[in-house]
Each structure stands twice: as structure tokens, then as C-alpha cells.
Amino acid sequence: MIDRSRLLKNISWLGGAQVVARILQLVAYASIARRLGEIGFGRFIYAFSLLDMVAFTATLGLPILYTRHLAAERTAHANAAVIIKHRLTLIVAFFGSIWLLLVPPDLAIDLLAMMFLAMLLRGYHYFGASGLRGKENMQGEAIATVAGRITFTLIAGAGVWLTDEPKAMLRITFLGFLVGEMVTLISINRAMAAMGLVWNPPPPNPRQRAAVWREMLPFAAAGLLGLIAFRVDVVMLRELSTPLMADHLVGNYGAAYRVLEAGLFIPGAIAAALFPALVRSSEGERLPANLFRQATLILLGLGLLGAAVLVFGAPLLMRLFAGQGYEQGIPALTALGAAVPFLFVNFVLGSGVFALGKEWWGFIGLCLSLLLNIVGNYWVMTQYPSHALVGAALFTAASEAVLTCSHVTILALAKRTSESPQSSH
């Protein structure tokens, strides 16, 4: 039985914190975008997207697994997830450092090192927050999120105005991102300690550790593909564009995407609070039908509203966010509006798929979605480079639509199985 008052309280904490965090983030990014210009901002967004994908291999879907085991009170398996997280981080830090030293991307090494370290810390911050979600204590995560965003806004958003030298502004931006992640992780650690969660739990036995490794595989694959699907547009746009235009185009597209992401806190908060409750209440192949349906319809309605805001308000939103020099991002933001309803609905549908343990089926859907996104981006960026920004946005929407169809199909088949005569015996 789901405690609806507790669920609403958790949604309120996460939603309220994300409202504050997104406002602060928008203020910071708007300041950075205006000071760096579309080229400097493009370099920041490129490093963020590329190293986020690399550093994610130190997490590989473990946060959602940690949440699920804690919600189901499987302490030994949750402890195994913590141990695996430490080992993956060490492996990725080692090989990532070698990569940055031997064949770094086209950016200063100190900037790359700061961003890589920040992304590794972000992995721990997400993992710790997932533990708090498993305990259904979203207050600690909410406070940590706001503290980190305030730090980032003060250092990066305000700091870029202290100098007129472009390289110095970039370093201040990267430093602000790193320190913000440090502050977030410190706050997360305090909340974890209050809930009895530790980073050095008793080691699990080999059988439990092996079980978690096996269970992690579909979450890892799905999580990595999901992250790539979110970030691959920016990386491909920079690598497939002419050198003179690459950073300029990425800056415009990155600004448009930041406006889109500003609204994703709404489905994110609902899905984060709903997932542990779904894990506890689901029986076999069944989800709490009424609550799940209500959450889906609410997010669909909010997604349609968000799409209308982007489609009709793109010029104003881009002007308010980034100022002059980002006019090419306006049609991209308009096109991204088509992705919003699917993005919103996929948060709750994906939570249902994972709560039922259908990770491998969800992985197949993600593969199809990502394949369409990559092939579509490559086609439009090489064949119609003058329409690359709008094309990338439209293929983002198409790939999210494919993912929605996949989730709906998986949940419908699971429901049919649970209602079949054989399942009742």
C-alpha cells in the first residue's frame, strides 16, 4: 500500500528544491553564455557532454539499483552496489586519466581535468542521492541540490564577470562546476549519515556480489545508452561540423538544450519519488494501476503545456537566457518542443519498467531509440549541414517517441501476462 501523503511530501521536497536549483542554474548559465559568447559556451558544453558520457561508466546504472535494493530492504545487495561503485570509479579514473594525458580532446588539459573530476564526483552525488530515495528521504537530497547550485551560481555565474580574458572566464566556469559538485556531495554525505548509510559497508559475500554484478548489467547498459542519447547530439554536432563553425553551432544548440532541461525537474521529481513506492507496492507483474495512470496523465498534460511554451515562446526564452548571438538556437528550441511530451511521459513509464524488473526489454527499446538518434543526426549533419540544429532537435523528439512506444509495449505485455489464467496459479 502506497502512503500517498508521504509520496506527495517527497515530491514537494524534490520539486521545490529543483525549482530553486533550476532558477539558479539558469541564472548561472545565462551569465556564462553572455560572457563566453557562443564559441566559449560551446566549448564548455562540449566538454560537459563528452566527459559526462565517459565518467558515467563509473556509475553504470548503479544508482537506480541502489534505490531498488534499499526500497526492498535488501541491505546486503545494497552494500554490494556501494562496493562495486568504488571499484568502477577507480577503474574509470585510471583509464580516463591516461586518455586525457595521451589523446585529449581539443581543450586545455586543466579544464578537462577539472571537468572529469567534477563528473566523477557527480556520479557519487547521484549514487548517494539514490540511497536517500531508497529510504524515501528526499529532504536531504533537496538541501544538497540547492547548496550545490548556489555554489555554482556564485562562483561561475558571478565569477566570469571579474575578468575580460576568455581563457580565464572558462577556467572560472569549470572551477565553479567542480566546487559546486564538491559542496553537493558533502551535503549528500551528511544526509546519508543521518539515515545510517555509509560508504564503507560490510563487504558482501561472493554470491551476493556476483548477483549484483549480474543484476547491474541491464541497468548499466540502459543507463549508458540513455545518457549517450541525451549527450550525443552535442558531440556529433561538434565533430561533424566544419572547424570554423563547430563551437558556434554547439553553443547555440547547447543554449537551446539548457532551456529545455530547465523544465525536466518536474517529471524528474515525480519519477524519483514514485520509483521506490512502485518497487515496494508492485506484486509480480502488477503496478498500482490508478496511481500509475494518474502520474502518466499528469505528466502528459504538463508535457503538452511545456511543448506549447517552447514552440511559441522560443524567441523570447532564448533572448532572456542567452542574449545576442544565439539566434540560430531559436529554431532548434522550437523544434525541441516536439520532444517535451515524450520526455515527460518517459520518466514515469521508465520507472514502471524498472520497478517491474523489465530492464532488458527496456534496454532493447533504448537501443532502437539511440540508433535512430545517431543515424538521424549523422544523416542530417552530413547531408544538410545548414539544417543541422533543427534536424538534431527533431531526431531527439523522434527517438523519445520511439522510447515511449517501447515502454508502453513492455508495460502492456507485462499487464497481459499478469492477467493471464496461468499467472493466477
**Has residue 215 got a pLDDT over 90?**
no
Average pLDDT (195-209) is 84
Domain locations along the chain: 4-417
- If one counts every other C-beta atom within 10 angstroms of the C-beta of residue 143, the result is 17
Average pLDDT (383-395) is 90
Torsion of CA 221, 224, 229, 233, to 10 degrees: -140
Q: Tell which residue, 239, 301, 292, 299, has the closest CA to residue 411.
A: 292
Question: 179 — alpha (psi -120 to 50), left (phi > 0) or beta?
Answer: alpha
For all residues of the chain together, what is the average pLDDT?
A: 83
Average pLDDT (252-262) is 84
pLDDT band at 184 (very low <50, low <70, confident <90, very high): very high
pLDDT band at 223 (very low <50, low <70, confident <90, very high): low
Count each helix (H run) and each strand (E run) in the chain, helices first. Answer: 15, 0
Q: Return the amino acid letter for 220.
A: A
**Has residue 170 got a pLDDT over 50?**
yes
Query: Model pTM greater than 0.75?
Result: no
**Has residue 311 got a pLDDT over 50?**
yes
More confident residue, 144 or 245: 144
More confident residue, 277 or 22: 22
